Amino acid sequence: MRSGSNTAKPKLACEIAADRVLVGRLADDGRTLAACAARELAPGSVVPDLVEGNLRQRDAVRAAVEETLNSVAGRTHDVIAVVPDAAVRVVLLEFDTLPTDSEEAASVVRFRLKKSLPFDVDKARVSYHAQKLKDGVRVVAAVAVASVVEDYEAAFRDAGFSPGVILPSMLAALGAAEGERPTLVVKVDARTTSIAILNGDQLQLFRTLENMRGVTITGDQLAEDVYPSVVFFQDTYHLNIEKIFVAGISDTGGAAPALRAQTGAEVQELVNASQLGLSTGGSVPRWRMAGVVGALIS
């Protein structure tokens, strides 16, 4: 989702999560972060939701955004805003063809989305990316109620920054994943578990599940949640998962045996230490930085 007319991709990213604000600034090499920071939020400050207002303590969220961004921003004020997965619906749609005219294509996508959403698409922001298939087109559409997006935008603007690009956390995180061969990406946060499967550098499956256990979810529980998506992918495409990336839990090693038992695939953290750079400090939890890192290095 884009907001405003700037076309250059910002070198700052800031994720507003349910429990904290995380930020990063891209280094000149385009592959690592030059600086990053995080600040915890009081419980209930942000309550991710598709329809209701998310920012329940606006002043506290704005203050956290302002403090963390100012600590790494330098002179730039353009930022990629990363918002919770529970605030955005991501839908995969398949078409035989799409109109070449962008406005007509957007209308077609909106029409199809009406059947998939628990809210009025006419009151929503819609952004989409079309992937060419052998026999058609697959559209990856991100949809959010306009008032929900505007709340997040206001937090950045009130802090003195311009949110030129807005991404749900999991779509942002996918920028850090290699997806040439069948790859499962699992990202946990305080309220959801998001699952994506990439193959041939295309998104072939995307699901966001309610997760009442939050980041304390065990490896066995995570594998149980992921299993139906893995089976669906295997049955649909007749392919096996070859690699698994995990983000959002502190003990990826604890989840690896259960995920590996299901698929036989190698399991690793989505974000590695080298991507956070040498000067970013030790106070930022690497396992929480997938949205910020992926948004910047994609």
Q: Could you list the mean pLDDT of each consecutive 10-residue stretch along the chain, which spans 298 residues?
A: 62 96 95 94 96 96 98 94 97 95 95 91 94 94 97 98 96 95 96 96 96 90 96 96 96 91 94 75 82 96
Residue 6 is predicted with a pLDDT of 45
What ranges in the chain are assigned the alpha helix state H? 58-72, 102-113, 146-158, 169-173, 219-237, 252-263, 290-297
- DSSP assigned state of 47: -
Residue 5 is predicted with a pLDDT of 41
Q: Return d(Cα 294, Cα 252) in angstroms, integer.
A: 18
Based on C-alpha coordinates, what's the Rg of the chain? 18
Give burial (CB, 10 Å; 0-12/13-18/19+) of 168: buried
Residue 74 is predicted with a pLDDT of 87
Residue 2 is predicted with a pLDDT of 53
Closest CA to 223 of 191, 265, 182, 169: 265
Strand 78-83 to 12-16 pairing: parallel
In a 3-state reduction of DSSP, which class is residue 126? strand
43 in Cβ contact with 191 (< 8 Å)? no
Q: Return d(Cα 76, Cα 180) in angstroms, integer.
A: 34
Q: Return d(Cα 125, Cα 145) in angstroms, integer.
A: 6
The angle that helices 219-237 and 252-263 make with each other, rounded to 10 degrees, is 30
Q: Beta-carbon neighbour count of residue 203 at 10 Å?
A: 19
Residue 230 is predicted with a pLDDT of 96
Q: How many CA atoms lie within 13 A of 149 on its CB side?
A: 22
11 in Cβ contact with 296 (< 8 Å)? yes
Enter the pTM of the model: 0.93
Residue 8 is predicted with a pLDDT of 80
Q: Return d(Cα 135, Cα 95) in angstroms, integer.
A: 9
